[in-house]
Structure 1
Amino acid sequence: MNEIPRGTLQEQTFYEQVGGEKTFRRLVHRFYQGIAEDPLLRPMYPEDLGPAEERMALFLMQYWGGPRTYSDNRGHPRLRMRHAPFAVDRAAHDAWLRHMKDAVDELELSPAHTAELWRYLTYAAASMVNTEG
């Protein structure tokens, strides 16, 4: 059996496999379209959703192997700490995931990529819950 020499196969990050920046910007933009119309979640966001949308896009791109722009601009993500001022209960968790599911579905990724992305998003949403209810 012949071995493949180290360094001869180029591995792509998840970020690259799913289409890079364009895909993550589409995901986050669609998500924020849902947030803009959500009576439960909308009050948790600033009046102008643009900066929040940008931060989330940069965070997700970095998390999945893209540019480190998020950390370069904002430091460590500290997601729980950054969300601590907001009362995130089960209803907010469910609403957040509903909008994210719509956004993920519109990307029409492969089933394997969808599953991997969804595993992370459901984990992240659960970790933000900080209030009973």
Structure 2
Amino acid sequence: MKTVPTLYEWAGGREAFERLTELFYGKVLQDELLEPVFRHMNPEHSKHVAHFIAEVFGGPKTYTEDDNGSHAGMVRHHLGKMLTEAQRRRWMALLLDSADEIGLASDPEFRSALVGYLEWGSRLAIMNSSTADNPISEGEPMPKWGWGETGGPYQP
């Protein structure tokens, strides 16, 4: 039986996620549809998002322990933003383009898991952006994402 790495390990670890979000948020700030949403983001925002995704994908608890973040805190950032489907689609496209540009793992199994998570999270962000009430309570665990139906990366 072969060992199944976490999505975090397969992607290339912390450095890969930090490169991804740094490139991505640079694109966001140049995009007429998304720039207004992110105009006043904290300079550390891209690293916090990288650490969040990394933790969700099975990496170390950098987001919750070092960045003092939480799932409820991440959701709180979206409350009242009134995000649109057009913004969500652009966000997805720019993030996936950035993944290609940095050479993030491109095998179908990994990309299926990545796109599944991004679709799930971005659709929740839209839902949460139309309310002022956080549906996630402090102390609720971080989401955990895995390989899904593929069961792991293709390993001949």
Normalising by the smaller structure, the TM-score range is 0.7 to 0.9
SS of the residue 2:82 aligns to: coil
Structure 1 residues 12-52: Cα deviation after superposition (integer angstroms, max 9, x where no partner):
32111221112111211221121010112112224465311
Q: Which residue does the alignment assign to 1:127?
A: 124
Instruction: Name stretches of at least 5 consecutive residues in structure 1 with no aligned partner.
Output: none
Structure 1 position 74 matched with structure 2 position 68: yes
Note if contact 2:18-2:50 (Cα within 8 Å) is conserved in structure 1.
yes
Q: CA deviation at 1:68?
A: 0.5
Structure 1 residues 85 and 24: alpha-carbon distance in aligned structure 2, compared to 1, 3 A threshold? same
Question: Which structure has the bigger radius of gyration?
Answer: 1
Letter in 1 for 2:84: D
Note if contact 1:104-1:114 (Cα within 8 Å) is conserved in structure 2.
no
Query: Share of identical aligned residues, percent?
Result: 26
Structure 1 position 15 matched with structure 2 position 15: no
Q: Which residue does the alignment assign to 1:85?
A: 80
TM-score, structure 1 normalization: 0.80
Equivalent residue for 1:55, pick from 45, 48, 54: 48
Question: What CA distance in whole angstroms lies between the structure 1 residues aligned with 2:15 and 2:22?
Answer: 10
Question: What CA distance in whole angstroms lies between the structure 2 residues aligned with 1:121 and 1:28?
Answer: 13
Higher helix proportion: 1
Aligned residues: 124
Instruction: Name stretches of at least 5 consecutive residues in structure 2 with no aligned partner.
Output: 131-156
After superposing the two structures, state which structure 1 stretch, 39-48 or 11-20, moved more.
39-48
Q: Which residue does the alignment assign to 2:149?
A: none
Q: CA deviation at 1:61?
A: 1.1
Structure 1 residues 48-100: Cα deviation after superposition (integer angstroms, max 9, x where no partner):
65311111011011111111111113242223332113121111111111111
SS of the residue 2:58 aligns to: coil
Equivalent residue for 2:34, pick from 32, 37, 41: 41
Question: What CA distance in whole angstroms lies between the structure 1 residues aligned with 2:16 and 2:116?
Answer: 18
Question: What CA distance in whole angstroms lies between the structure 1 residues aligned with 2:69 and 2:40?
Answer: 24
Structure 1 position 24 matched with structure 2 position 21: no
Structure 1 residues 13 and 108: alpha-carbon distance in aligned structure 2, compared to 1, 3 A threshold? closer
SS of the residue 1:83 aligns to: coil
